[in-house]
């Protein structure tokens, strides 16, 4: 493993440890912020669109609820 990858993995490990140490209320606040961001992205006119190779129809990557479409 090269030094850059080792550094990335160590950074992720430290960050996950920091998240694990947070209280439940702090984790809930983070979750609420992520949900707000997800809804803002879903409402954006710039969100990615995908054309199905099978049907040729255009689909969005997320549905109107802001959650990814289920396959």
29-71 residue pLDDT tens: 999 999 999 999 888 887 766 666 666 666 655 555 555 555 5
Report the predicted TM-score, pTM, of the whole model to 2 decimal places: 0.52
Whole-number Å distance between alpha carbons of 38 and 36: 5
Whole-number Å distance between alpha carbons of 58 and 47: 13
Whole-number Å distance between alpha carbons of 30 and 6: 27
Which residues on neighbouring strands pair with residue 51, listed in sequence order? 58
Structure tokens given for 47: 């969100």
Structure tokens given for 5: 């990858």
């Amino acid at each position: 493993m090269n030094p850059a990858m080792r550094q990335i993995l160590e950074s992720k490990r430290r960050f996950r440890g920091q998240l694990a140490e947070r209280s439940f209320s702090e984790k809930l606040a983070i979750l609420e912020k992520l949900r707000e961001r997800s809804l803002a992205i879903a409402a954006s006119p710039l969100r990615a669109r995908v054309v199905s190779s099978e049907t040729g129809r255009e689909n969005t990557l997320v549905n109107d609820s802001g959650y990814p479409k289920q396959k």
